[in-house]
């Protein structure tokens, strides 16, 4: 078994394919840079041929990152492969990831190809990709429902054609850990030169076993694991990379392999992804959930106070949850804020830091003490601020509401140096405010699909973080807003989403 497992992150491709998890270019770049700081080995930046927007995002990420391998997914067709290469060719370490299904179900009903035709296509298309790119990965889609003997032939064909990475996906989350381990062992015993390539797995979570299947594959000899931050992805999602990494980190007795990932970057990266897609982590989510390191039962509290190892198998610090060792407030300087942001995993450009420090000082006028969560919220929401600045920007608002009056809102916005104002009625203050924004911002026909608000920190002066999801046809955009006034946060979130539309 290799001494180190490669971590292949597909948050920006497979993760973004999940309904309601779309991201704009700025958000994708921010997540890609966070993943690079976390030191994953490969970032699958997208499916370049899917759309012009996907191509641009893959190309931009490839040109931006300095250390990670950048991959684009492609079907096993010449046009797909050539488009993927054009998107990633400027990366410091480019990779084409091409795939073709090998299960009887997919070959018969989707591909309408015989086994021989599939083997020929694999050989031809992997060779074509290898002629373009120094690195090629081949995935046998639906591998875990494939006949093992035929899968071995497909893998052999891909290796002969020049693939340096072979991926065995559990595309529909059908396998169990025993089956996954058995398949990896079978391939290692029955495919020539398989030990000369990176052997990868890509597990989906339809039966809740994606992480277990991935770890079973590692024990059986897989040398790369694919997954997403927070396990986001199609249907029930993918294997959660933070869980796989921390399992290997916590149980070296079972997984004496390790990986390059900087575990202290896990928590901030997880929160960034959740914030970008407008979703909150389940409170009991392994590793990154709100209760992952919380202890309420008296016997647990007593044990932890005596020795943390009694009930904590990993420390909060190991995933980047830092104890608040200094208090930030209105007397804090720029350097202290910058140092704290760095400790939380954020590196900002000078212009971004200048703007954030202004917001920090304004927040200090509303709150006495600024928590890590407050500071991190300002950092995460700086992208929303950019969207507001380049589009419509809230100037002021007035909302009247009560149980004996019809709610109404007056909203004033600025756009290209001009001021616009509208008034609207609604079923409550938020509905009235959103109706006024609809009058102000011209956008295609749309509907509000989701709205949520949560507090960022404790206390009556806590910041409120609002999230909206706005649907326009098949497209769903996420808007975010932040303020100590929950109505203002809601209006900011809605304007942010409308600007994206």
Q: For the segment 328-368, what is each residue's pLDDT rounded down to a tens digit?
A: 788 888 888 888 888 777 778 888 899 899 989 988 888 87
**More confident call, 299 vs 99:** 99
pLDDT average, residue stretch 39-64: 97
Cα–Cα distance measured from residue 457 to residue 91, given in angstroms and rounded to the nearest whole number: 40
**pTM value surpassing 0.85:** no
**More confident call, 309 vs 84:** 84
Cα–Cα distance measured from residue 352 to residue 347, given in angstroms and rounded to the nearest whole number: 10
**CATH: 3.30.70.100, 1.10.260.40, 3.40.50.1970, 3.30.160.270. Which one for 390-500?**
3.30.160.270
Query: Where does residue 349 fall: left (phi above 0), alpha (psi -120 to 50 degrees), or beta otherwise?
Result: beta
pLDDT digits (tens, 9 = 90+) for 432-449: 999 999 999 998 899 999
Q: What confidence score (pLDDT) does residue 91 get?
A: 98
Does 325 score more than 50 pLDDT? no
User: Which residue blocks in 52-137 are alpha helix, DSSP H?
Assistant: 52-64, 78-88, 104-105, 115-132
Does 322 score more than 70 pLDDT? no
Mean pLDDT over each residue of the chain, to the nearest integer: 90
Which class for 365: exposed (0-12), middle (13-18), buried (19 or more C-beta within 10 A)? exposed
Does 275 score more than 60 pLDDT? yes
Q: What confidence score (pLDDT) does residue 343 get?
A: 75
291: which DSSP letter?
T
Does 193 score more than 90 pLDDT? yes
**β-pairing verdict for 224-227 and 198-203:** parallel
Q: What confidence score (pLDDT) does residue 374 get?
A: 85
Range scoring the smallest mean pLDDT among 102-111, 139-148, 191-200, 443-452: 443-452
Does 326 score more than 80 pLDDT? no
Contacts of 192 (CB under 8 A, 6+ apart): 156, 159
286 alpha carbon, distance to own chain's centre = 16
Cα–Cα distance measured from residue 41 to residue 215, given in angstroms and rounded to the nearest whole number: 17
Q: What confidence score (pLDDT) does residue 296 get?
A: 46
Domain boundaries, the chain: 6-277, 292-320, 322-380, 390-500
Scored b (16 or more CB within 10 A) or e, 71-87 reads bbbbbbeeebbbbbbbb
- For the record, the structure tokens of 75 come out as 């079907």
Does 451 score more than 60 pLDDT? yes
134: which DSSP letter?
S
Closest CA to 206 of 169, 167, 175: 175
**More confident call, 320 vs 273:** 273
Does 41 score more than 90 pLDDT? yes
Which class for 229: exposed (0-12), middle (13-18), buried (19 or more C-beta within 10 A)? buried
Reported as a pLDDT band with limits 50, 70 and 90, residue 56 is: very high
Cα–Cα distance measured from residue 212 to residue 422, given in angstroms and rounded to the nearest whole number: 54
pLDDT average, residue stretch 277-291: 87
Q: What confidence score (pLDDT) does residue 319 get?
A: 87
Contacts of 328 (CB under 8 A, 6+ apart): 336, 337, 340, 360, 369, 370, 375
pLDDT digits (tens, 9 = 90+) for 215-258: 999 999 999 999 999 999 999 999 999 999 999 999 999 999 98
CATH class entry, domain 6-277? alpha beta
For residue 269, what is the enclosing H or E element? helix 266-277
Q: What confidence score (pLDDT) does residue 34 get?
A: 94
Closest CA to 495 of 389, 388, 404: 388
Query: Are the C-beta atoms of residues 245 and 7 closer than 8 Å to each other?
Result: yes
Does 461 score more than 60 pLDDT? yes
Q: What confidence score (pLDDT) does residue 305 get?
A: 56
pLDDT average, residue stretch 6-27: 89
pLDDT digits (tens, 9 = 90+) for 386-422: 445 568 999 999 999 999 999 999 999 999 989 999 9
pLDDT digits (tens, 9 = 90+) for 370-379: 888 788 888 8
Half-sphere exposure of 239 (CA within 13 A, CB side): 32
- Provide, for the chain, the percentages of residues in helix, strand and coil under a 3-state DSSP scheme, each rounded to the nearest 5: 45, 20, 30
Cα–Cα distance measured from residue 435 to residue 453, given in angstroms and rounded to the nearest whole number: 18
Sign of the torsion formed by the C-alpha atoms of 113, 147, 226 and 243: positive
């Amino acid at each position: 078994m290799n001494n180190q497992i490669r971590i292949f992150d597909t948050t920006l491709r497979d993760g973004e394919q999940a309904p309601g998890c779309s991201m704009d270019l700025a958000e994708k770049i921010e997540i890609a840079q966070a993943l690079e700081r976390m030191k994953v080995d490969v970032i699958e930046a997208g499916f370049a041929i899917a759309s012009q927007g996907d191509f641009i995002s893959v190309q931009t990420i490839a040109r931006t990152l300095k250390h990670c391998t950048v991959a684009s997914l492609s079907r096993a067709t010449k046009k797909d492969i050539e488009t993927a290469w054009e998107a990633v060719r400027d990366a410091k370490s480019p990779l084409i990831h091409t795939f073709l299904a090998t299960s009887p179900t997919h070959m018969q009903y989707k591909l309408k190809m015989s086994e021989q035709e599939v083997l020929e296509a694999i050989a031809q298309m992997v060779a074509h990709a290898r002629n373009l790119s120094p690195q090629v990965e081949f995935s046998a889609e639906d591998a875990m429902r494939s006949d093992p003997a035929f899968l071995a032939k497909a893998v052999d064909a891909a290796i002969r054609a020049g693939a340096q990475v072979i991926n065995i996906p559990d595309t529909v989350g059908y396998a169990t850990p025993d089956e996954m381990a058995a398949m990896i062992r079978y391939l290692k015993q029955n495919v020539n030169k398989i030990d000369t390539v990176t052997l990868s797995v890509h597990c989906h979570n339809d039966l809740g076993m994606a992480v277990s299947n991935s770890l079973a594959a590692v024990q059986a000899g897989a040398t790369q694991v694919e997954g997403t931050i927070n396990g986001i992805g199609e249907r029930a999602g993918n294997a959660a990379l933070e869980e796989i990494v921390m399992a290997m980190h916590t149980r070296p007795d079972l997984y004496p392999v390790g990986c390059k990932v900087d575990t202290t970057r896990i928590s901030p990266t997880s929160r960034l992804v959740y914030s970008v897609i407008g979703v909150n982590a389940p409170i009991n989510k392994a590793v990154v959930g709100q209760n992952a390191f919380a202890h309420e039962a008296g016997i647990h509290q007593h044990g932890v106070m005596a020795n943390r190892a009694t009930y904590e198998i990993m420390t909060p610090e190991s995933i980047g949850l830092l104890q608040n060792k200094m208090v930030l407030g209105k007397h804090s300087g720029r350097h202290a804020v910058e140092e704290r942001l760095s400790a939380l995993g954020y590196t900002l450009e000078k212009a971004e830091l200048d703007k954030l420090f202004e917001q920090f000082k304004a927040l200090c006028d509303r709150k006495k003490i600024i928590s890590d969560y407050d500071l991190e919220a300002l950092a995460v929401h700086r992208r929303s601020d950019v969207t507001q600045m380049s589009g419509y920007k809230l100037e002021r608002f007035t909302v009247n509401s009560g149980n004996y009056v019809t709610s109404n809102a007056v909203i004033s916005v600025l756009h290209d140096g001009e001021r616009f104002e509208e008034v609207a009625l609604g079923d409550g203050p938020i509905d009235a405010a959103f109706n006024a924004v609809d009058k102000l911002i011209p956008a295609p026909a749309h509907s509000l699909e989701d709205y949520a608000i949560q507090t960022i920190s404790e206390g009556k002066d806590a910041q409120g973080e609002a999230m909206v999801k706005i649907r326009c046809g098949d497209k769903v955009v996420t808007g975010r807003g932040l303020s100590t006034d929950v109505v203002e946060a809601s209006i900011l979130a809605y304007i942010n989403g409308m600007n994206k539309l």
